[in-house]
Amino acid sequence: MSKEEKSSKVLDSYYENCAFPKPKSKKKKLLHNGYKDKHERICWYTGRPGAERHEIWGGPDRQKSIEMGFQVDLCSELHARLHANCDEWAKTENLKWKMFFQMQYEQKLIESGIRPEMARECWMALIGRNYL
């Protein structure tokens, strides 16, 4: 079984017992990250308006980030810095956001009655890496 088939199987069995509806991801309609509300966005760090929405997992996982809301609004300077991931601040913050969203994701599942081990398994099926 491929990694993708396995992950979709785990998710299917999870959603059978889950309070949340399964996201309608099968249609493969690409999601954009809501750039149209840019003027209303405030940078999480500086409070400056006109922030850009940043997906915590990029590349092949960018769509999952949008779908799951693993996003934060950033002014363009800090956005570029997090993408570059070159300085200590950026490295620390990138890791903190990943830990935060994993924790939040697993916590929601646990609160809906999913066992912690199953919540971790769902996380691993979704992102494939443990940050906690």
Binding site residues, Zn ion, CB under 5 A:
54
Is the CB of 14 or the CB of 54 nearer to Zn ion?
Answer: 54
Q: To the nearest whole angstrom, how small is the minimum distance from the Cβ of residue 108 to Zn ion?
A: 23
Residue 3 CA to its chain's centroid (Å): 19
What is the C-alpha R_g of the chain?
16
Q: To the nearest whole angstrom, how small is the minimum distance from the Cβ of residue 66 to Zn ion?
A: 11
Residues in the chain: 132
Is the CB of 62 or the CB of 120 nearer to Zn ion?
Answer: 62
Is the CB of 66 or the CB of 118 nearer to Zn ion?
Answer: 66
Q: Which residue is nearest to Zn ion (CB)?
A: 54
Encode 89-118: b = buried (16+ Cβ within 10 Å), e = exposed.
ebeebbeebbeebbeebbeebeeeebeeeb
Q: To the nearest whole angstrom, how small is the minimum distance from the Cβ of residue 97 to Zn ion?
A: 11
Is the CB of 1 or the CB of 84 nearer to Zn ion?
Answer: 84
Q: Classify residue 110 as left (phi > 0), alpha (psi -120 to 50) or beta.
A: alpha
Q: To the nearest whole angstrom, how small is the minimum distance from the Cβ of residue 13 to Zn ion?
A: 32
